[in-house]
Chain A
Amino acid sequence: DTGVSQDPRHKITKRGQNVTFRCDPISEHNRLYWYRQTLGQGPEFLTYFQNEAQLEKSRLLSDRFSAERPKGSFSTLEIQRTEQGDSAMYLCASSAGLQGAEQFFGPGTRLTVL
């Protein structure tokens, strides 16, 4: 296991379509985070999981967004009825929780909504 992976790396979609992103964390990490980053800005927190439990969601996460982490392994982030304002880089990170505060990031999924 070499790190956090995300798929796809790039996604272009038309407004109104649904998209789903996947994140595979570092295998021994029990915490998984989703962030959104727009050009020239720092990442903003969206949601996080401890094992399979989703513990917090940001107000940024509208009803069109949903995230899951079945069995506490990989996670998916789905955006329904995409809007142009959803265009951003979606970053996933994982950490070892009580064993370490550092979060390790994946390469991100760049979403472009036309």
Chain B
Amino acid sequence: AQTVTQSQPEMSVQEAETVTLSCTYDTSENNYYLFWYKQPPSRQMILVIRQEAYKQQNATENRFSVNFQKAAKSFSLKISDSQLGDTAMYFCAFTPSPYTGANSKLTFGKGITLSVRP
């Protein structure tokens, strides 16, 4: 079974600054994907960024980047130039690769509430 741990329940950052959200996971799978999802208050869950475990290069999407440490089973999200619209709950999630034949359900962490201060 896989587990995803987000140990920081809340964080706050000043607008335009950089913030890093932490996530660790545990799995016996070798091929898997990791994701960060964003859920704004009362709004839909949207995908922020994804990382394939076999890729050593850290994924980046505009102001969002990850620090993927496979050996340490760590997957943190860095948000640069924070904007007010980044205020949301952020979830780290894990899924086995669809090619493994395993159940491709997402296993989520408990989430972290990020507040961006003007």
Contact = CB atoms under 8 A, between A and B. Distances in A.
Given A42-B91, A101-B33, A102-B35, A33 B98 contact: no
B98 A101 contact: yes
Interface in B42-68: 43-47, 50, 52
Interface in A1-55: 31, 33, 35, 40-45, 48, 55
B103 interface: yes
B61 to A, nearest CB: 12
Interface string A47-66: 01000000110000000000
Contact of B47 (A35, A104, A106): A104
A90 interface: no
A42 B104 contact: no
Interface stretch (A68-76, A78-86, A91-99): A91-99
Interface stretch (B12-20, B69-77, B78-86, B108-116): B108-116
25 contacts: A31-B104, A35-B106, A41-B111, A42-B4, A42-B91, A43-B106, A45-B106, A45-B107, A48-B103, A56-B103, A56-B105, A95-B98, A95-B104, A97-B98, A97-B104, A98-B98, A100-B98, A101-B104, A102-B33, A104-B47, A105-B45, A106-B44, A107-B43, A108-B44, A108-B45
